[in-house]
Amino acid sequence: MPEYLIKGGTPLCGQLAVHGAKNAALPILAAALLCGRSVIHNCPDLTDVAAARNILHYLGCSTTQRQGTVTVEFTGGGDYRIPDRLMRAMRSSIVFLGAVIGRYGMAEVSMPGGCELGPRPIDMHLAALRKLGVQIDESGGVLRCTTPKGLHGASITLPFPSVGATENVMLAACLARGETRLSNAAREPEITDLADFLNAAGADIRFASDGSILITGVQALTGCEHRVIPDRIAASTYLSAAAVTGGEIILTHVCPDHLSAVLPVFEEAGCTLVCGADTIGLQAPQRLNSLGTVRTMPYPGFSTDAQSTMLSMAALARGTSVFIETIFESRYKQVGELVRMGANIRVEGRVAVVEGVSQLQGAVMSCTDLRGGAALAVAALAAKGESRLRQIHHIARGYENFDLNLQKLGAQITRV
Ligand code: UD1
């Protein structure tokens, strides 16, 4: 099993181009099932993207991936049932449900099990799809979906602005009869990117001033060419790594607007930021200040995905920082490993109180999940001595060339 060997203590310096967003690429790949031929640029090379391509092959699409461009063509002859092994290969495979129903009028998928961030239920997805005319039979861990009267538009209000449920409604409703109004929808930049992709392929999706999404069903979607937005989470990870090591970096191919709730926390910690149209420069002090109180929220609030790596910053900052996680139940799983490095962190339910220490010691650690794994790498980059990071397949789900990118910035990290 590959591992990362990380020798801490080198301030990260230099320039890095950030890859396309995983969380935008995955629903767009699902949406490509509804289209003819789609050319998707800036698609990151990740294991989750490979898993999504495998699902597409099964569903009747051919795909190619060359230098950041994935081409998807619906060729037919596929199945409307996604086998359990493919569903399990990617945590967010549930986003294919709306697309499969839109394409085939029916779908059969296994229920996603619990995941590393908590139970991650899909009740909102299912309730919304039922409103669109989907009959769902849940038995034996399998969801069997049919549309006896076809998909039709509906007025739907989500109890919580779930990203995945919003995407599934958009995917199922864009080919439904009539208009759908989705209220309390998620507003993440990845949602807008999915809408941009679908609209370029012929869909009719608009955002109302009250935040709801209006989807007027169309007869068919054609193909289109689309460029995936930059990965705001990868950007915040590299900024955290530079900040915690007292470094100075410039990120290119980023969208600073998408990080508007996250960047002020770097400033609170004493970093100097200079943002251009698609660049972010960060200069860190020798030692970070406390991050204050960080509360995760749906976008445009502070992203839960950025929380993990910034908690590693807090572990070495001067003073006390408090994190309140409002989105996922189990987002502090890496804390046990940080404590083994010498961090002083107390977790009670959704709150983590971090008393910054002046030094962390390198250790042998295991990644617990995608962002938690990146957070351990960030801490190891700043720790004294060498760390060995295991279970790094979690990191490959969401970061392209993680070790090579950090090496570019001068980090001593090798994959062994
Ligand atoms: C997506 C992102 C993930 C991000 C999260 C929140 C992808 C591939 N993943 O995940 O990186 O951290 O948004 O920004 O885009 N919930 C229910 N019932 C449902 C659906 C959700 O209770 O039917 C709960 C979840 O358990 C969670 C919360 O709602 O506690 C938010 O989930 P959601 O916004 O749906 O996140 P994901 O789409 O899974």
Using one digit for the tens of pLDDT, what is the confidence trace for 338-375? 999 999 999 999 999 999 999 999 999 999 999 999 99
Cα(106) to ligand 1 centroid in Å equals 24
The pLDDT score that the predictor gives to residue 111 is 79
Q: Percentage of the chain surpassing pLDDT 70?
A: 98
pTM of the model: 0.97
Q: Residues 250, 194: one domain? A: no
Q: Residues 37, 9: one domain? A: no
Q: What CATH number is associated with residue 151?
A: 3.65.10.10
Name the residue range of residue 362's domain.
4-19+230-415
Cα(340) to ligand 1 centroid in Å equals 29
Residue 138, SS3 per DSSP = strand
Cα(161) to ligand 1 centroid in Å equals 9
Residue 411 CB burial class (10 angstroms; 0-12, 13-18, ≥19): buried
Q: Choose one of 192, 227, 262: the last residue of a domain.
A: 227
Residue 255 sits at φ, ψ, to 5 deg, of -120, 100
Q: Choose one of 209, 227, 245: the last residue of a domain.
A: 227
Q: Residues 377, 240: one domain? A: yes
Q: Residues 67, 153: one domain? A: yes
Count of domains in the chain? Answer: 2
Q: Which atom of ligand 1 is nearest to the CA of 92?
A: 8
Reading phi first (left if > 0) and then psi (alpha if -120 to 50, else beta), residue 83 is in beta
Give the integer Cα–Cα distance in Å for 64 and 32: 13
What number of other Cβ atoms are within 10 A of residue 113's Cβ? 12
Q: Residues 326, 341: one domain? A: yes
Q: Residues 243, 118: one domain? A: no
Which residue has its alpha carbon closest to ligand 1 atom 38? Answer: 164
The pLDDT score that the predictor gives to residue 367 is 96
What number of other Cβ atoms are within 10 A of residue 32's Cβ? 31
Say which of 61, 115, 145, 271 is annotated catalytic. 115
Q: Residues 364, 303: one domain? A: yes
**How does 50-67 read in b/e, with b if 16+ C-beta sit within 10 Å?**
ebbbbbbebbbbebeeee
Q: Residues 340, 278: one domain? A: yes
Q: Choose one of 194, 227, 260: the last residue of a domain.
A: 227
Average pLDDT of the residues in 5-24: 98
Q: Residues 109, 124: one domain? A: yes
Q: Residues 324, 380: one domain? A: yes
Which residue has its alpha carbon closest to ligand 1 atom 26? Answer: 120
Please, which pLDDT band fits residue 90 given cuts at 50, 70 and 90? confident
Give the integer Cα–Cα distance in Å for 227 and 233: 17
Please, which pLDDT band fits residue 88 given cuts at 50, 70 and 90? confident
Which residue has its alpha carbon closest to ligand 1 atom 36? Answer: 163
Active site residue 35: no
Which residue type, as a one-letter code, is found at position 155?
Answer: S
Of 174, 163, 220, 164, whose CA–CA distance to 196 is shortest?
174
Q: Residues 13, 32: one domain? A: no
Average pLDDT of the residues in 281-286: 98
Q: Is the dihedral of CA 95, 100, 102, 107 positive or negative?
A: negative
pLDDT above 70 (res 107): yes
How far is Cα of residue 154 from the mean position of the Cα atoms in its chain? 28
Cα(164) to ligand 1 centroid in Å equals 6
Q: Which range, of 133-147, 158-172, 301-315, averages the lowest pLDDT?
A: 133-147
Q: Residues 12, 27: one domain? A: no
Q: Which residues line ligand 1 (CB under 6 A)?
A: 23, 26, 92, 118, 120-125, 160, 162-165, 190, 304-305, 327-328
Using one digit for the tens of pLDDT, what is the confidence trace for 231-279? 999 999 999 999 999 999 999 999 999 999 999 999 999 999 999 999 9
The pLDDT score that the predictor gives to residue 140 is 85
